């Protein structure tokens, strides 16, 4: 039996070749405003200098996009990036998850798992490959994991920077790191970055980019509609994607060819109920 791919009517209404605000997008096609580019540059430089990083920002502000841009920028030949996002695990299970992400077989005991990870890091160093562990949602890390992270970054009497840790989370991560209990790890973090609130022009640039990439007209949203979209979403990409998609679908149902201020206000009000 042959199958056909169903194309939503609202895409055809605007002449889109794909959903403009879909999450599925290649690293090379990621949009990055100039206000974020400097953050990407600093993270790439920190990896080259084998430093540890803390990156904080509000939910949906674009932290994951920044990490994906870093992944695209770093040469695969000299770096090995490992992404971990399940931050609510205890120490043993955290290292077991790290083993799986690296491609190692997880061991039974905490000591064995830690040994496997640290040995892997040393083996990569002999191959002249620098591992970078990206720990997302790090504000949720168990305290026993934070207590131990400075140990995994300590090689050859703390004289060999064989590993870079990038801890990514909400602003409260910064507060946790400054607790006296975490001072050993915090003292090893030389790059401390915070994503600021997006600017209105960032929202305009982002919406235009995504519309054009999907084969649509950049002027689909009026300037007033974009202003309301920024205000309603706070400029956070996740919120923009959701509200803009709802506004386009609503416009298509009404057989409108442009999204105006009133339509975005209506969609935002409906979502707020």
In terms of Cα–Cα distance, which of 54, 17, 9, 1 is closest to 214? Answer: 17
Q: What is the pLDDT of residues 241-269, one digit of tens each?
A: 999 999 999 999 999 999 999 999 999 99
Q: Where are the beta strands (DSSP E) in the chain?
A: 52-56, 79-84, 130-135, 164-169, 189-194
| Residue 148 in this model has a pLDDT that exceeds 60 | yes
- In this structure, the answer to whether residues 170 and 59 fall within a common structural domain is yes
116 is a domain residue: yes
pLDDT tens digit string along 182-230?
A: 998 999 999 999 998 888 999 999 999 999 999 999 899 999 999 999 9
Verify that 126 and 242 share a domain, yes or no. no
Domain enclosing residue 259, as ranges: 9-28+198-272
Domain count, the chain: 2
Of the residues 151, 167, 194, which one is the last residue of a structural domain?
194
DSSP secondary structure of 165-185: EEEEE-THHHHHHTSGGGHHH
* 115 and 175 fall within a common domain: yes
Tell me the average pLDDT across 52-81: 89
Whether 205 and 233 map to the same domain: the answer is yes
Q: What's the rounded Cα separation, in Å, for the pair 132 and 117?
A: 12
The larger pLDDT score, comparing residue 181 to residue 28, is at: 181
- Angle, CA 241 vertex, CA 5 and CA 233 arms, to 5°: 160
Average pLDDT, integer, range 17-35? 79
Spatial CA neighbour of 88 closest among 122, 130, 51, 137:
137
Give yes or no: residues 145 and 261 share one domain.
Answer: no
Strand ordering across the sheet containing 164-169: 79-84, 130-135, 164-169, 52-56, 189-194
Domain end position, chosen among 125, 159, 194 = 194
Distance between CA atoms of residues 145 and 147, nearest Å: 5
Residues 153 and 166 in one domain: yes
* CATH number for the domain that contains residue 102: 3.40.50.300
2 in a domain, yes or no? no
User: 141 lies in a domain?
Assistant: yes
Q: Point out which residues pair with 259 in neighbouring strands.
A: 221
């Amino acid at each position: 039996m042959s199958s056909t791919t169903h194309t939503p009517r609202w895409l055809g209404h605007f002449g889109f070749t794909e959903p403009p605000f879909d999450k599925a997008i290649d690293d090379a096609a990621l949009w990055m405003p100039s206000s974020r580019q400097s953050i990407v540059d600093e993270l790439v430089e920190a990896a080259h200098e084998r430093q540890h990083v803390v990156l904080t920002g509000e939910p949906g502000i674009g932290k994951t996009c920044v990490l994906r841009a870093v992944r695209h920028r770093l040469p695969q030949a000299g770096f090995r990036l490992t992404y971990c996002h399940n931050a609510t695990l205890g120490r043993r299970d955290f290292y077991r998850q790290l083993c799986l992400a690296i491609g190692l077989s997880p061991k039974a005991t905490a000591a064995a798992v830690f040994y496997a990870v640290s040995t892997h890091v040393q083996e990569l160093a002999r191959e002249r490959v620098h591992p970078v562990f990206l720990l997302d949602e790090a504000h949720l890390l168990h305290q026993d994991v934070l207590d131990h992270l400075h140990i995994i970054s300590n090689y050859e009497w703390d004289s060999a920077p064989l590993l870079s840790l990038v801890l990514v989370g909400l602003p409260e991560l910064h507060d946790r790191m400054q607790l006296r209990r975490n001072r050993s790890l915090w003292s090893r973090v030389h790059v401390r970055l915070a994503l600021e609130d997006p600017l209105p022009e960032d929202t305009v640039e982002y919406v235009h980019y995504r519309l054009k990439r999907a084969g649509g007209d950049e002027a689909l949203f009026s300037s007033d509609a974009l202003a309301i979209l920024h205000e309603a979403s706070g400029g956070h990409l996740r919120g923009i994607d959701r509200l803009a998609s709802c506004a386009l679908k609503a416009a298509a149902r009404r057989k409108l060819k442009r999204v105006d201020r009133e339509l975005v206000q209506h969609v935002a009000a409906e979502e707020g109920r």
